[in-house]
Structure 1
């Protein structure tokens, strides 16, 4: 895989109107502002309320962004779903559109899914999408899914699909797990994105690919500067400024 997406991505907030429909114009405007401020677009993630958006709506919103001139190469759409056919349809659509990657949850409604079951889910997506499947980034958020992305699962998927399994977003908030992912697989080209910029200063020196953080929705340029300058003398100050911004943002909400 070449030209893999890296850097700072926003799990893009999805605006809704009074009729509980996605506000397309505001969605496009926000995505354009994020891209203009050096952020990638992890549309249809947790902060995007993807579980509340139907498959046709996700496809329509993706198409609206493309028609508005937002580059597909800056997008990592969320394509995970409890229904395998939905996950395949979303993954196929995003792949054909030229998305840089697919942020793919494991099946998450029924709990206690075995590792074999999770492996089979990802394998079925890859096989059914077929040639041209965009790089898949495994979405580890066990506090919501109760279906962890384990190191052994990653190893198995990489052995079977080394040209498709590209990395992971680690949203568990457990630095030890994030570090273990990076330490074990980064040297082989597996890109790990912590879910908070608070981990950037520790994650970048050992091989992280960036971060996918909710705060990027409000501070894309600042967090991008932190990503770009992680190994500079300005890094501690950039980290501190970014974290102050995050705390102020949480207090305001």
Structure 2
């Protein structure tokens, strides 16, 4: 499935009605994106406001997306959270439900060192048998990933496949792809779509879809 991860994979918003998730409208959004040619669906990305949702609500969105897509396009489930146990619970559910890949944001706010980031990802993904990617958004998470961290994660986790890169740093992208030619980088900032695609990014996970 890692080979299928490319192209436009938009982070779908979370529709609400009367303070409850509108799952019927969410299903229609998934269908719309598939019909209009999206190459995959990102569930619980930043545009979905997952930090304001409960674990149950996030899991519901994953379930609806998987059933609605019915294997027509890859479903990427974003499972990162401030809590390690919550991240593991969200990850385990997404894998069991049939997600095709995972996107896991770096631990945010607490600013862990690179060693802590590495061990965090290894712990979360140690039993994961599908591709997983880092969501690299230092402007919000207050922590950056280094090339050395990517190298160690690739060595220790065979399913570590790539990164959503949401920071204006083309130099990092160039160095990363020069060091790891098979590493999948998705653009996370609209204004960098064409520049990053030109130097080797495999697709877009931009909020504009």
TM-score normalised by structure 1 residue count: 0.76
Determine if the alignment matches structure 1 residue 179 to structure 2 residue 179. no
Q: For 1:68, what is the secondary structure of its paired residue?
A: helix
Determine if the alignment matches structure 1 residue 122 to structure 2 residue 121. yes
Is the contact made by 2:12 and 2:41 (CA closer than 8 Å) also made in structure 1? yes
**Over residues 22-51 of structure 1, what are the superposed CA-to-partner deviations in whole Å (9 max), with x where a residue is unaligned?**
211111111110111121211111111011
Report how many aligned residue pairs link the two structures. Answer: 208
Question: How far apart, in 2, do the equivalents of 1:184 and 1:48 lie?
Answer: 33
Question: How far apart, in 2, do the equivalents of 1:45 and 1:86 lie?
Answer: 16
The structure that is helix-richer by fraction is 1
Is the contact made by 1:5 and 1:100 (CA closer than 8 Å) also made in structure 2? no
TM-score normalised by structure 2 residue count: 0.90
> Structure 2 matches for 1:231-242, cutoff 5 A?
none
| 2:184 aligns with one of 185, 191, 203 | 191
Question: How far apart, in 2, do the equivalents of 1:23 and 1:181 lie?
Answer: 40
Which residue is equivalent to 1:212?
205
**Over residues 60-112 of structure 1, what are the superposed CA-to-partner deviations in whole Å (9 max), with x where a residue is unaligned?**
122123343543852111111111111111112212233221010122132x3
Is the contact made by 1:4 and 1:100 (CA closer than 8 Å) also made in structure 2? no
Structure 2: tracts of 5 or more residues without a match: none
The structure that is strand-richer by fraction is 2
**Cα displacement (A) at 1:172:** 1.2
**Cα displacement (A) at 1:2:** 4.8
Query: Is the alpha carbon distance of 1:172 and 1:206 closer, same or farther for their aligned partners in structure 2, counting shifts above 3 Å?
Result: closer
Determine if the alignment matches structure 1 residue 151 to structure 2 residue 147. yes
> Structure 2 matches for 1:17-166, cutoff 5 A?
17-19=17-19, 21-39=20-38, 40-71=40-71, 73-110=73-110, 112-127=111-126, 130=127, 132-161=128-157, 163-166=158-161
Q: Which has the larger radius of gyration?
A: 1
Is the contact made by 1:193 and 1:210 (CA closer than 8 Å) also made in structure 2? yes
**Cα displacement (A) at 1:202:** 2.9
**Cα displacement (A) at 1:214:** 0.9
Is the contact made by 1:109 and 1:145 (CA closer than 8 Å) also made in structure 2? yes
Question: How far apart, in 1, do the equivalents of 2:178 and 2:54 lie?
Answer: 37
Q: For 2:12, what is the secondary structure of its paired residue?
A: coil
Is the contact made by 2:168 and 2:192 (CA closer than 8 Å) also made in structure 1? no
Is the contact made by 1:168 and 1:192 (CA closer than 8 Å) also made in structure 2? yes
